[in-house]
Amino acid sequence: MDNHSHQHTEGMAGSGIPVERHPFQPFLPSNSRLLMLGSFPPQSKRWDMEFYYPNRQNDFWRIMGLIFFNDKKHFIDGEGHFIQQDIMDFLCTQGIALFDTATAVRRLQDNASDKYLEVVEPTDIDNILKQIPHCKAIITTGEKATQIICERYGITMPKVGSFEPFSTLEREIRLYRMPSTSRAYPLAIEKKALSYSEMFRQNGYF
C-alpha cells in the first residue's frame, strides 16, 4: 500500500509508534436504525476478511447468527471462514450500520487489546449520524468505545446491557453499552447473545 510508508513516517514524528488509520469505510446502509461501534479493527494479520469484526477469535458474527438465525455458524462457511457477502447483505436487510469510535490510533502493544490502543483521532460521530437519518441508537461493543462516546457527548457511562439517552443534531439517541464480543470478555456467548437480543428487541427488530 502506497500510503503505508506515509502513515509510518507521520506516526514516527509522534511517540515513535506509527499511527494507523482506519482500514475500512463506514458501512452505512440508508435504512440503518442502529449504529454499532467498536474501538478499532485488529491488525490485518488477524483478519479473516476485509470487513468489521474480522478476527475469528471475536464472536460478533456468531452472536448475530445466534440472535437472527438461531445458528452461531450462520455466517461461517465449511472451512471456518466468515462469509462476507452474506454479512453485508444481512446488515443492509436489517438496517444496521457499522464503524468504530477511533479513526486513527497508535497500538502500544502487538495485540488487539483495547487497553493498549491510544486514540489519536476519535471518529466524528455526528458526521456519521448525518448520513443515517433513521438511526435512533448507538451500540458500543466494548468499554473503550463506550468511554469515547460518553466523553464526546457528556453522557453517564451506562451499565453493561443498558442504555443512556442523549441528544445530538436535534435527535434523541440511545447509547447502549453491550458486552464485548471479544473472547477476552468472560461471559458465555449465549449470555452475550441474550443481552444483544434484548437490545434489538427494544429497538423494534423483533
What CATH code is carried by the domain that includes residue 177? Answer: 3.40.470.10
Residue type, 113: S
Residue 85: inside a domain, yes or no? Answer: yes
Separation between Cα atoms, residue 125 and residue 37, nearest integer Å: 10
Q: How confident is the model at residue 180 (pLDDT cuts 50, 70, 90)?
A: very high
pLDDT at residue 17 in the model:
86
pLDDT at residue 114 in the model:
63
Residue 183: inside a domain, yes or no? Answer: yes
- Per-residue pLDDT tens for 91-127? 999 999 999 999 999 888 776 566 677 889 999 999 9
pLDDT at residue 30 in the model:
96
Residue 155: inside a domain, yes or no? Answer: yes
- Per-residue pLDDT tens for 119-178? 899 999 999 999 999 999 999 998 889 999 999 999 999 999 999 999 999 999 999 999
Q: Into how many domains does the chain fold?
A: 1
- Please give the residue range of the domain that contains residue 122: 19-202
pLDDT at residue 64 in the model:
98
- Per-residue pLDDT tens for 38-55? 998 888 899 999 999 999
Residue 3: inside a domain, yes or no? Answer: no
Residue 8: inside a domain, yes or no? Answer: no
| Ordered DSSP codes for 22-78 | PSS--B--TT-SEEEEES-PPPGGG-SSSSSS--TTB-HHHHHHHHHHS-TTTTB-T
66 within 8 A of 181, measured Cβ to Cβ:
no
Residue 1: inside a domain, yes or no? Answer: no
The β-bridge partners of 107 are 117
Residue 9: inside a domain, yes or no? Answer: no
Residue 14: inside a domain, yes or no? Answer: no
Mean pLDDT of the chain: 90
Who's near 144: CB < 8 A, 6+ residues apart?
A: 39, 101, 114, 115, 117, 119
pTM of the model: 0.88
pLDDT at residue 104 in the model:
92
pLDDT at residue 2 in the model:
41
Q: Where are the alpha helices (DSSP H) in the chain?
A: 2-12, 60-69, 84-94, 125-131, 143-153, 189-202
Task: Annotate 44-70 with b (16+ C-beta within 10 A) or e (fewer).
Answer: eeebbbebbbbbbebbbbbbbbbbbee
